Structure 1
Amino acid sequence: MTNAHPHTPAHDAPHGAPHDASHDHHRQDDTDLAEILDLDAEVLGEHIASIIAWLPLKTGPRHIVDLGSGTGAGTFALLDRFPEAHVTAVDASPGHLQRLRRKACARNADDRVRTVQADLDAADWPDLGRPDLVWASASMHHLADPARTLRTVRGLLAPDGLLAVVELAGFPRFLPEDAPKERPGLEDRCHAATERFHAEHLPHRGADWGPMLVAAGFTLEGERTVTVNIEGPHDEAVGRYALSGLLRIRGAAAHALDAADLAALDRLLDTDGPHGILRRDDLVVRTERTVWAARP
């Protein structure tokens, strides 16, 4: 999966930042992204579970393929929902797959998980079997040719199988609209800066996948949008999620922000400063996820 890391809007931002060529840089980027993916699963796990529960499945799947599995948010939610199932987790990142494998062992579920490192943009895929369910969460929009990938998945699925494409409406918002006090609307301006990059480099981000599924030979079985709005008291995971996400957004947005906005953002990201985001008690998590369910 050349650009098809699984995921969350959290890692749209890193792909938006220029990459240097060093191995250490990529290894650190991989590690940072893995931490965000773990936080995404921790904070938004209830919403992932609700999407899985909605899927119009005829029977409980026994073989599931998680395309762009990341560190396993979908993999383990699927295993929890379908106790008789086995999951093949596919991702481009060996680091993410190693992390997923460690989690499987810690859960005593290593015999129910197979990991496969692969590039979804490649013409030839490894043997993934004949799954009853293919789950693709925040991975399809990273692909160079998603139409070809959809046709490949159609040929992969069992006759009564189901494909679930899950995408997010941009990166979550964490701050009230009037925050921070000295630069109200800062978060919106950061998002606007990253949107310009994504429009150029990730043209399928925010797409309506329904027509593309039909064009690839699928029958659309359903579409649902889940609104995420976590407010009020929260555990420290929300703070860490906000910090990690905004750190990555900074990498993509810094060149487009003016000096005052960049300084305000850096004050939020300063974990030792009095105005750091970890010290705020008004954080929220606002986003949307849309799922399209289709049969071959």
Structure 2
Amino acid sequence: MPTKHYPSARLVARLPDAQKLIAISAKLTITPKDFESIAEKMDENKIETWITELVKRGHGSPLEHSIYVFEVVCSRVCSHQLVRHRHASFSQLSQRYSDKYLRSLVSRAREVTGLTGDDVGEVEVIDRLLEMGLDFDTLLDVVGEAFIVPPKVVELKNRVFLERLLESVRDYYEVLKSGVIYEDARFLLPQAVKTRVIVSMNARELLEVFIPLRTCSRAQWEIRWVAWAVREELVKVDPLIFKFSGPRCVLMENRARSSPCSLEDFAGKKCSFTIERCPELVPRDKIQECLFYSVSEFQRYTRTS
């Protein structure tokens, strides 16, 4: 599981027997047989064959019958990108009614400073924390309760970045204390502040749009990590569908091949790229390297967090 200052995504609900449903729906388009008749003879091998054909031909409509629901914890930077995906449904934690993550930060700050009394307010706690000259890792532990922190900031151990985030929390509670209401006080918060989003997408949106666009090495790092986490969850439950998912180079290549390859086959160099260039204009001889970077970066993130 990722550390608290990085984003996370987990599958919380899905349609059972999605792979079989998709395969049945695909076959139903070319046969006079009814659903039950097709389902009766749809074994595992036939399911795989039909799904592979869908991927190869780009016949995406049967994939739309399967829905997947994720809980994503990320920054507002990331959630603004996430909600651009129009073929999806979202329910997001409201900053007007909940300061859950900020409260968690203050609670952790109280533990670190020892200011646990009810008579000591949030502003005083944060001020004391900033005065203590704590090491970077301790500050990160506190900040990570409420904010997503970029990996480059962690790598550089940039204290100024963390201090500015803490100052924003102090300012938030200071204006609340002065009478400003929650929905106005939130204007002071940086986009790094955490949010929680329930996201529902169908298999087609995931396979053809979200995962290809957002796992690409050109995507912003946070939503890229979320997308890889989403893919990782999906491969566990419906591998016949999502083993073919990956960045746009993978989608584009599989549409050009007589038989599609899994992401793992591309990453392991069992399959090579034949397309002249990817949609991001990376030439053929550099695509594998670009893909490997995106895959390995996420693997490093999950191993070290």
Specify if TM > 0.5.
no
Larger radius of gyration: 2
TM-score (norm: length of structure 1)? 0.23
TM-score (norm: length of structure 2)? 0.23
More helix by share: 2
More strand by share: 1
